[in-house]
Amino acid sequence: EIVLTQSPATLSLSPGERATLSCRASQSVSWYLAWYQQKPAQAPRLLIYDASNRAAGIPARFSGSGSGTDFTLTISSLEPEDFAVYYCQQRRSWPLTFGQGTRLEI
């Protein structure tokens, strides 16, 4: 099973600042990594897939990068609605696995 480790566990920033979230895989997942956003009492939403492709309707301030074992989600300038929990997920092999999440707080 591929283990995904996200860091930091919690990130405290202010609106307008840049956020950088990390996801490290226990073995190479090539570019088969996605990022999801989950707000309280809501279902997760796909943000980025295949490491760097924005999903439909996702603002350009969200970007993803990386390949192999190290990946980054960057939010260029935080909006109030961006404060949420972010998860990475790999599809390189079964079982599909998620990271433990990074909480982005004000």
- Max CA pair span of the chain: 38
Taking the least distance from each CB to another protein, the nearer of 33 and 75 is 33
The DSSP symbol for 89 reads E
> Residue 19 Cβ, how far from another protein at the closest point, in Å?
19
Whether the upstream peptide bond of residue 59 has omega within 30° of 0, thus cis, is no
33 to 72: interface string for another protein, x by CB under 8 A: -x-x-x---xxxxx--xx----x-----------------
Taking the least distance from each CB to another protein, the nearer of 77 and 100 is 100
Which amino acid, residue 47? Answer: L
